[in-house]
Structure 1
Amino acid sequence: MKKWLIGFVLLVFFGVAFGQEADLSVVQENIERYKAIKYANHPRGFASWIQGILFILCAYHLLAFFENRNKAYLFYSLYVFCFLLYFSFSNFHLFYSGLTQPLNEYLFYPIQFFGYAAYIAFGQQVINTKKVVPEWHRFMNYGIRITLAMGVTFFLIQLMGLSTSTLTLFSILLFPTSLIAVGTYVVLAAKLKYKHVFFFVSGSFIYFILAYVALFYSLQGTAGKYTFSFTPLVFMQIGAVIESLMFALLVGYQQRKDRLARENVELALAKQAQQATELQLKALRAQMNPHFIFNSLNSINHFIIKEDAEQASDYLTKFSKLIRQTLEYSNQNTISLEAEVKHLSLYIKLEQIRMKSSFDYIQDIDPALNLSSISIPPLVLQPFVENAIWHGLNPKTSENKRLLLSIQPSESGIDIYIEDNGVGRVAASQQPKLRRSFGTQITKERMNTYQPDGLVAIEFIDLEDAKGPAGTRVIVRLKSE
């Protein structure tokens, strides 16, 4: 492929070198006269306005490329930059004309081919030909290489001073090149039927039609047949601005489409995360229910073995009610704090029966609180109460065992206190016969899953008095959002 491109460049180069007319005085005279008309009658204000629009479009999309690394922005900026540089060659009144005018002699024609190469690359990006139509993508890659080779060829031609018939050669080579480029995208537009492809093809058509109008009258001018009082470049400038604006709309449309796609992906991920959270909560509840049932069945078995029919009947009645509530709550993600407290009170009564009323239960709830309006995961407080009873109060040998449930407002929300005056956590951990409680760890996981943003905090405090450990206080802090 590289050898083919080198051969193509040499063919065009030597074709121009040996194809010069013997008598060039008439042609040269017409060209000089045409240039005088072209530059003298170029509308300065309009040209500067065109330059301003193109500069803003180029700079904005170049910055957009550096921000998100989307190559479509880069190739669009390069395409507009080629326009910007090309049109500056015919405007001597810009603040940067002193920098661009020396390049006119060498880049007037090459810059157009370089721009067309950027145009093809831009089309590849916005249509996503590499993924949608890979066979056309490879074909366009060849088009980019050929167009760049033409630009290099014309640069060499102008560098060697063989520019007398350059305009004619330029028009001959440009026509099939642009025709193939536009034709390619027309075929893709008909094949793909994407809205953004319509923007691309429409802008391209408008530009190429007006560009060929400008080229036609430019050829007329070099032949001495130019009749207008203004430069034909105006047609090309109008086409370039219209095309650039349509391409900007295309980029904006594509950007909006990408943003909506990202939002849909984020929404889908959020739904998946929510589903995962719900599944995790269900799994944790599934662990909680067998845990509680196992404890209750042990209590029933204890009364049956002791042949205490009245206690067994009372316990079974309360237990069946508790199981019914538990099954009902297990299908809910949250319940009211009021329902949780009632359920917890029933559980504590069952434990009091089991322990033969060896401890007192005290409730201290602020009457100003509306517990029915506060939501928490179901059965979330029961493991802490269970620990207080079986790990704190049960090992205690002295009398006056006490369990406190207190719910009070706080500066950040609501604090729930579960306090016992038992042996304390240190002494409980040293009792070999006390089984390990799985409920507390599960509850922590449930609370973290329910409020992953740190709106729920659980704190353990070891109580002490003059004699030493005096129980444990658990604080569940529910923070307001």
Structure 2
Amino acid sequence: MLSDLVRGHTYLHHHAELSITDPQANWSSVYHEAHRFRPDPLLQTSARKAYWLWQWLKNDSDSARTAYIYTGSNQTVTLYLIRPPGQLIDSLQSGSMVPRTRWAYLSDDQFIPVRMQAGQSVLMLIRVANRAGIVPVITHADTPRPSVQLRLESELFHAQRLMQQYGRNLPELQYRSWVQGGLLFFLLFVVLIFVQYRQALYGYYALYVLAGCVYSLLKTRTYTPVGQVLVNFPFARFYALELVLWAGWGAYTLFLVELLNLRVSHPGTARRLVHWGRFAVGYSLVSGAVLMLTNDGGLYQLNYWACRFVFVTIHVVVLVWLLRSVPSVLTRYVVLGNVLLTGIGILASLRASELILKDTSLPGFVDNLLMLPLGVLLEIIVFALALAHRIRLVDRERQASQQAYVEEIEQRTAYEKRLAEVEMLALRSQMNPHFLFNSLNTIEYFVLKGDEANATRYLSSFSRLLRLILNHSNEDTVRLSEDLTGLHLYLELESSRFDENFRYTLEVDPAIDPDDVVIPPLLLQPFVENAIWHGLQHSHRPDKRLWVRVLLDADERILFEIEDNGIGRAEAGLLKSRSSTRRNSLGMSITKQRIDLLNRNYQSKLHVELVDLLADGQSGTLVRITLQPRPNPSILDQPN
């Protein structure tokens, strides 16, 4: 009778009768045919049997009342309420392997409420058994053993017990939520890093953090929102713990290989560890699937202890090997993370077994932090520090490599620049004899002609020009004003070889200050010489003209234009091909090589354009030299 629950609860097996059948038996056959007996307190149950408790219950009060049956950790408990002579009133179910949608008590899988009207009397036929899997079991072991030690609780006792339980679990729930939040934060952070860099190191670390997150969520209590979702899949919720544990260990092993760069330092060991990591992941997936399909408790126990013996042994061996063979600062992070995980895991197991802190709460209920997910979180934090340290080491190596590369490039550039300077010096050395040769030819011309006055005047101008050239012979650049002075002297010398019909014009844009612009020495002289010797010398025009212009265009580029009204390039080339004594334009060839060297080794660029002038039956040639914009006045002070 319900009024007999003076202490608030009673154990049914102390009063009920018991029947034992195969799991396939239904309530009707048990009710009409099964043998009943008083259970032995030391009864050893079997996972291959179903156990039926017979207990009459009467509400002897004058109002409706509710009692609760505490089912413990049994996989399935089904309550059949029967009115004689065998009329089924209701059936209610609960248990750790029963989906939430079939629970009799929607907030907990360990209780079945029994609602009875005033004066009502019913027979409670309670079936206790393991849940059958989708496929038959493999081992036929007697584990887990169903428990017939069910407890009947009064409504008041049940409410008080739940309040005590919730009050006791609330700090643990809060701490667990913080740990889960930390794990989820790290998971999101690492996934974003992996998406950004696509490196195996971050991928394996993300998988390990994911395993920690899933393990922590699977351990969530059933009355939480997450727990209410997970209990709809009881097989997955229970057996996925082992699956996630060893799959995470496999990801952890692969992560260690990448973190410590073992593929480079210890390729043989790295290869074996990679095989073990992949085997752990594959084995966890296969064993998890088999356990979910069979619900084989014997296989679960075998897998539980075998995995711990094999994988933990390998794990310890790997850690010892790392300490002895991998003298890296990152190894210390690995060892520290494992010490934290192992230490907290051992303390959590001792607390759960009530070997420590039994009926004791530390200040702030921090004893609730003794849980394996906290150890996983701390290890993940340590590994995050290890990743940061590794990134710093890699960055230092990259910076050192970049610095060495920059120094190599600078050294190579210096060599190339020096080589270019030597080549340009050699070309200028060729220019000077070339110019002297032409000038001496002119002096010879005057002497043979008997023109002593022009020869004397020519020698005077020639000496001034020669002094100017010698002053610039060791210079990479000269001021435009100095180069134009030398060009003016050269034109004076060349004009003396012609009659009064040769005139030249030297113009400089007012926007250009010749003293602020520097150019290579003797840049314009070869083009002027070419215009005179090949364009004007063979012209029969009475007015031989030469224009030298220095302009500034809209893009701040300096333009040098040498224009003549000579015979043009086509006619000059034809005459040259017919001449038996061809005069090679050595100056132009040398100048072209100098411009190529300048453009290859310096920021500022020189561009030469040749334009044939044909208008109204007249011919001529225009040479346009463009000096590209530059960050400073010199074209030779910034190498590429």
1:272 deviation in Å? 2.4
In 1, distance between residues paired with 2:427 and 2:374? 78
1:264 deviation in Å? 4.6
Q: Which amino acid aligns with 1:48?
A: G
- Asked if 1:108 corresponds to 2:108, the answer is no
1:243 deviation in Å? 1.6
In 1, distance between residues paired with 2:356 and 2:304? 15
3-state SS, counterpart of residue 373 of structure 1: coil
Contact kept? 1:396, 1:422, Cα under 8 Å: yes
Higher relative contact order (CA closer than 8 Å, sequence separation 6+): 1
Q: Which amino acid aligns with 1:458?
A: V
Where in structure 2 are the equivalents of 1:379-398 lying within 5 Å?
Answer: 379-398=522-541
Contact kept? 2:599, 2:605, Cα under 8 Å: yes
**Matched residue, 1:348:** 491
- Taking a change above 3 Å as real, the CA distance of residues 24 and 174 of structure 1, as seen in their structure-2 partners, is same
Mean Cα displacement is larger for which, 380-389 or 266-275? 266-275
**Matched residue, 2:339:** 209
Seq. identity, %:
19
Contact kept? 2:250, 2:276, Cα under 8 Å: no
- Asked if 1:119 corresponds to 2:252, the answer is no
What is the CA RMSD across the aligned residues, in angstroms? 4.1
Where in structure 2 are the equivalents of 1:450-469 lying within 5 Å?
Answer: 450-451=598-599, 455-469=605-619
1:187 deviation in Å? 4.8
**Matched residue, 2:437:** 297
In 2, distance between residues paired with 1:383 and 1:282? 20
- Asked if 1:163 corresponds to 2:163, the answer is no
1:142 deviation in Å? 2.1
Where in structure 2 are the equivalents of 1:237-316 lying within 5 Å?
Answer: 237-255=377-395, 257-258=397-398, 261-262=401-402, 264-266=404-406, 268-269=408-409, 272-273=412-413, 275-301=415-441, 303-304=443-444, 306-307=447-448, 315=458
Where in structure 2 are the equivalents of 1:109-148 lying within 5 Å?
Answer: 109-125=245-261, 130=264, 133=265, 136-148=266-278
- Asked if 1:435 corresponds to 2:583, the answer is yes
- Taking a change above 3 Å as real, the CA distance of residues 174 and 477 of structure 1, as seen in their structure-2 partners, is same
Contact kept? 2:259, 2:387, Cα under 8 Å: no
What does the per-residue CA deviation read over 1:398-456, in whole Å, with 9 as the maximum and x for residues that have no partner? 33222222112221122222111211222211112353434445434544543466853
In 2, distance between residues paired with 1:325 and 1:179? 85
**Matched residue, 1:69:** none
1:180 deviation in Å? 4.5
> Where does structure 1 lack aligned partners over 5 or more consecutive residues?
1-16, 30-35, 66-72, 191-196
**Matched residue, 1:149:** 279
In 1, distance between residues paired with 2:574 and 2:560? 27
- Taking a change above 3 Å as real, the CA distance of residues 356 and 176 of structure 1, as seen in their structure-2 partners, is farther
Contact kept? 1:62, 1:74, Cα under 8 Å: no
3-state SS, counterpart of residue 417 of structure 1: strand
- Taking a change above 3 Å as real, the CA distance of residues 332 and 415 of structure 1, as seen in their structure-2 partners, is same
Higher strand share: 2
Match among 403, 408, 419 for residue 546 of structure 2: 403
1:360 deviation in Å? 2.5
1:165 deviation in Å? 5.7
What does the per-residue CA deviation read over 1:67-116, in whole Å, with 9 as the maximum and x for residues that have no partner? xxxxxx32232223222233223226679x87996982562232233223
Where in structure 2 are the equivalents of 1:357-396 lying within 5 Å?
Answer: 359-396=502-539
Match among 336, 343, 347 for residue 479 of structure 2: 336
In 1, distance between residues paired with 2:143 and 2:283? 24
Mean Cα displacement is larger for which, 291-300 or 86-95? 86-95
Match among 422, 427, 439 for residue 566 of structure 2: 422
In 2, distance between residues paired with 1:210 and 1:391? 91
Contact kept? 2:434, 2:586, Cα under 8 Å: no
In 2, distance between residues paired with 1:178 and 1:324? 86
3-state SS, counterpart of residue 506 of structure 2: strand
- Taking a change above 3 Å as real, the CA distance of residues 294 and 334 of structure 1, as seen in their structure-2 partners, is closer
Contact kept? 1:418, 1:475, Cα under 8 Å: yes
- Taking a change above 3 Å as real, the CA distance of residues 184 and 262 of structure 1, as seen in their structure-2 partners, is farther
3-state SS, counterpart of residue 608 of structure 2: strand
- Taking a change above 3 Å as real, the CA distance of residues 336 and 206 of structure 1, as seen in their structure-2 partners, is farther
**Matched residue, 2:65:** none
Q: Which amino acid aligns with 1:117?
A: T
- Taking a change above 3 Å as real, the CA distance of residues 87 and 260 of structure 1, as seen in their structure-2 partners, is same
> Where does structure 2 lack aligned partners over 5 or more consecutive residues?
1-137, 150-167, 292-298, 358-366, 631-640
Contact kept? 1:55, 1:84, Cα under 8 Å: no
Q: Which amino acid aligns with 1:57?
A: V
Match among 618, 621, 624 for residue 472 of structure 1: 621
Corresponding residue pairs, total: 436
Contact kept? 2:477, 2:521, Cα under 8 Å: yes
Where in structure 2 are the equivalents of 1:49-198 lying within 5 Å?
Answer: 49-65=182-198, 73-91=199-217, 104-105=240-241, 107-125=243-261, 130=264, 133=265, 136-161=266-291, 162-164=299-301, 166=303, 168-187=305-324, 190=327, 197-198=328-329
- Taking a change above 3 Å as real, the CA distance of residues 259 and 295 of structure 1, as seen in their structure-2 partners, is same
3-state SS, counterpart of residue 368 of structure 2: coil
- Taking a change above 3 Å as real, the CA distance of residues 325 and 141 of structure 1, as seen in their structure-2 partners, is farther
1:388 deviation in Å? 1.0
In 1, distance between residues paired with 2:618 and 2:237? 94
- Taking a change above 3 Å as real, the CA distance of residues 332 and 446 of structure 1, as seen in their structure-2 partners, is same
What does the per-residue CA deviation read over 1:172-201, in whole Å, with 9 as the maximum and x for residues that have no partner? 4455544444455545664xxxxxx42x23
1:60 deviation in Å? 1.4
Q: Which amino acid aligns with 1:472?
A: T
In 1, distance between residues paired with 2:622 and 2:252? 77
3-state SS, counterpart of residue 371 of structure 1: coil
1:240 deviation in Å? 0.7
Contact kept? 1:364, 1:405, Cα under 8 Å: yes
1:356 deviation in Å? 6.9
3-state SS, counterpart of residue 372 of structure 1: coil
In 1, distance between residues paired with 2:239 and 2:496? 100
**Matched residue, 2:296:** none
Q: Which amino acid aligns with 2:607?
A: A
In 2, distance between residues paired with 1:102 and 1:468? 102
In 1, distance between residues paired with 2:559 and 2:621? 16
3-state SS, counterpart of residue 515 of structure 2: helix
In 2, distance between residues paired with 1:189 and 1:220? 33
